[in-house]
Amino acid sequence: MPSSEENFYKIFNLAPMCMAISSAKTEKLLLVNDCFVRLTGFSREEALGKNTLELGIWTDHSARASGREQLKKSNTIEQTEVSLRMKDGEVRTFILSSELIEFKGEPAILNAAIDITERKQAEAAREQSESRYRTLFNSTDEGFCVIEVLFDAQNKPLDYRFLELNPQFENQTGLKDAVGKTAKELVPKLEQHWFDIYGKVALEGEGFRFENGSAEMGRWFDVYAFRIGGSESRKVGILFKDITEQKQATLALQEFSENLESQVRLRTQQVRDLAGQLTLAETQERARLAQLLHDELQQQLYALQFALSDVQRYLNRPEANEALLNAKTLLKEALEICRNATTNLSPPILKGEGLVEALQWLASHMQDLYGLKVQLSSKASTPLPEALRVLLFSLVRELLFNVVKHAKVETAKVLITESEQDLVIQVSDNGMGMNPEALKEKGTGLGLSGVRQRLQLFDGHLELKSDPGKGTVVSIYMPLKTI
């Protein structure tokens, strides 16, 4: 069975702290344990027989001297923090306890030192971090607070308590002496959405940034909320800023923009109404001129034709008959021109009919007058107001006149379709076509400039595609919202 001395040496060597026994008279080291060797870097051969001054362990000789005086007075030193230098020059921090004992019949000093270097470094880092946090906490111009969310038995958030605030909190919220109080104590009718948001952050742990307002507080806030600690902590950090002035400015600008847009829409509608009225006025004037031609000039020409026939019956001379025949021929041509002018000025089909019916009449009219066969196809069903119907009719007629004058073909196509946004009318032919450069030069000379201008009054637009030898496609786009 091991002796007590053997047990002492075993415990001494296995101790998890640095231990050393030195002579009370000479202070030379008599015994060191394994922890001493491992931490200081001195081997037993280097350390034994030398005192700590010779090893250069002490960084503060006044602390060593103070310890010696305390040992003389009380025979013990209890848990004194000291800094000691290792063999490699590193300085480490220890908690040192010393006591006078008897070792091998001689007075000796038992020294036990616990290495707290890592703990001190961690404390220093934590203090530095806390100092930075506190500096940021107190100096930021944004409000910050830590709250504890209060839940019922079903984990429904009911309220929250203010635990910690920074100096800007009061400026940003207008709430005074909030620490220790709940939100409902400070703002009794505070909206439930604040409790719901912070409750979700406290339970789920996911940070959340948002903007929201409180009618009860009369403020808007830009907020970032994040959980502090684990799910059981129920604590949430809130970094926020009062954005009431910016929000009010934004709302005022939005209201101004909406009012401006409303005024623009009103003015646009007024322009469209005026354009429609002008189109109808033009149509009415055309109808008046056509009526004048029919009722006045055309009737007079008919009367003249009858009069010439009467004259012819009374004259039997061949020369007179020939002159009268020529006059009747010219008169017949004048009557035909008058009838065509009357029809072109005011097509009777426009009075009360739909666009498709009017374009069917136009197709027949173009074939009778110019020999142009027009293939008409419609897949649209949206009813059109009279002003727009007259406008589109006149635009298609103008485009078909262009086909007659420029395309050198006997057929053309008119296709009416609807998309989600537009009513689309395509007028196409397989005629001569034009190259892009010529299209740019002649585009305004084809009567298209006026077409574009009239379309723009209704937010419509025109697209023209053409290639030499491949014909021309002109597409009229009329937004359905303007119909």
Is the domain of 184 the same as that of 232?
yes
Is the domain of 329 the same as that of 362?
no
Domain interval for residue 257: 247-346
Cα 451–Cα 452–Cα 456 angle in degrees, nearest 5: 120
Please give the mean pLDDT across all residues of the chain: 83
pLDDT band at 68 (very low <50, low <70, confident <90, very high): confident
For residues 381-409, give the mean pLDDT: 86
Q: How far from 317 is each of 307, 311, 460, CA to CA, in Å?
A: 17, 12, 65
Is the domain of 261 the same as that of 287?
yes
Average the pLDDT over each of 86-95, 115-124, 284-293, 374-383 and give the range with the smallest value.
284-293
For residues 149-168, give the mean pLDDT: 94
Q: What is the pLDDT of residue 276?
A: 58
Question: Is residue 300 in some structural domain?
Answer: yes
This model's pTM is above 0.95 = no
Q: How far from 187 is each of 159, 180, 382, CA to CA, in Å?
A: 11, 14, 57
Long-range contacts of 475-478 (CB under 8 A, 24+ apart): 475/424, 475/425, 475/426, 476/392, 476/395, 476/396, 476/424, 476/425, 476/426, 476/427, 476/451, 477/422, 477/423, 477/424, 478/388, 478/392, 478/422, 478/423, 478/424, 478/425
Q: What is the pLDDT of residue 275?
A: 60
- End of a domain among 242, 273, 290? 242
Residue 163 pLDDT greater than 50, yes or no: yes
Residue 443 pLDDT greater than 50, yes or no: no
Q: What is the pLDDT of residue 472?
A: 92
Between residues 199 and 329, which one has the greater pLDDT? 199
Q: What is the pLDDT of residue 343?
A: 56
Q: What is the pLDDT of residue 301?
A: 60
Q: What is the CATH number of the domain that holds 95?
A: 3.30.450.20
Average the pLDDT over each of 60-64, 80-84, 258-262, 459-463 and give the range with the smallest value.
258-262
Is the domain of 472 the same as that of 357?
yes
Question: Is residue 52 in some structural domain?
Answer: yes
Q: What is the pLDDT of residues 256-312, one digit of tens each?
A: 888 888 877 777 666 666 665 555 555 555 555 555 555 555 555 656 666 666 665
Residues 104, 304: Cα–Cα separation, whole Å:
162
Question: Is residue 219 in some structural domain?
Answer: yes
Question: Is residue 133 in some structural domain?
Answer: no
Is the domain of 200 the same as that of 301?
no
Q: How far from 450 is each of 16, 284, 441, CA to CA, in Å?
A: 101, 20, 16
Is the domain of 85 the same as that of 192?
no
Average the pLDDT over each of 141-155, 260-274, 370-384 and give the range with the smallest value.
260-274
Question: Is residue 417 in some structural domain?
Answer: yes
Q: What is the pLDDT of residue 258?
A: 82
Question: Is residue 29 in some structural domain?
Answer: yes
Is the domain of 231 the same as that of 302?
no
Strand pairing class (422-429; 373-378): unpaired
pLDDT band at 411 (very low <50, low <70, confident <90, very high): very high
Q: How far from 394 is each of 58, 343, 379, CA to CA, in Å?
A: 109, 13, 20
Residues 35, 158: Cα–Cα separation, whole Å:
57
pLDDT band at 208 (very low <50, low <70, confident <90, very high): very high
Between residues 259 and 110, which one has the greater pLDDT? 110
For residues 229-239, give the mean pLDDT: 91
345 three-state secondary structure = helix
pLDDT band at 323 (very low <50, low <70, confident <90, very high): low
Is the domain of 44 the same as that of 165?
no
Residues 6+ apart with CB under 8 A from 6: none
Is the domain of 360 the same as that of 475?
yes
Q: What is the pLDDT of residue 22?
A: 92
Q: Which of 142, 124, 454, 451 is nearest to 279 (CA)?
A: 454
Q: For the chain, what is the domain count?
A: 4
Is the domain of 302 the same as that of 320?
yes
Q: What is the pLDDT of residue 391?
A: 82
What percentage of the chain has pLDDT greater than the value 70? 77
Is the domain of 25 the same as that of 108?
yes
Q: What is the pLDDT of residues 430-441, one digit of tens each?
A: 988 877 665 555
* Per-residue tokens: 253: 């600008």
Q: What is the pLDDT of residue 139?
A: 67
Q: Which amino acid is at 170?
A: E
Question: Is residue 131 in some structural domain?
Answer: no
170 within 8 A of 240, measured Cβ to Cβ: no
Q: What is the pLDDT of residue 179?
A: 94
The secondary structure of residue 426, as a DSSP letter, is E
Q: What is the pLDDT of residue 450?
A: 64
Q: What is the pLDDT of residue 352?
A: 61
- End of a domain among 346, 381, 398? 346
Between residues 13 and 321, which one has the greater pLDDT? 13
For residues 235-241, give the mean pLDDT: 94
Q: What is the CATH number of the domain that holds 391?
A: 3.30.565.10
Q: What is the pLDDT of residue 236?
A: 96
- End of a domain among 120, 153, 186? 120
Is the domain of 238 the same as that of 253?
no
Question: Is residue 134 in some structural domain?
Answer: no
390 within 8 A of 283, measured Cβ to Cβ: yes
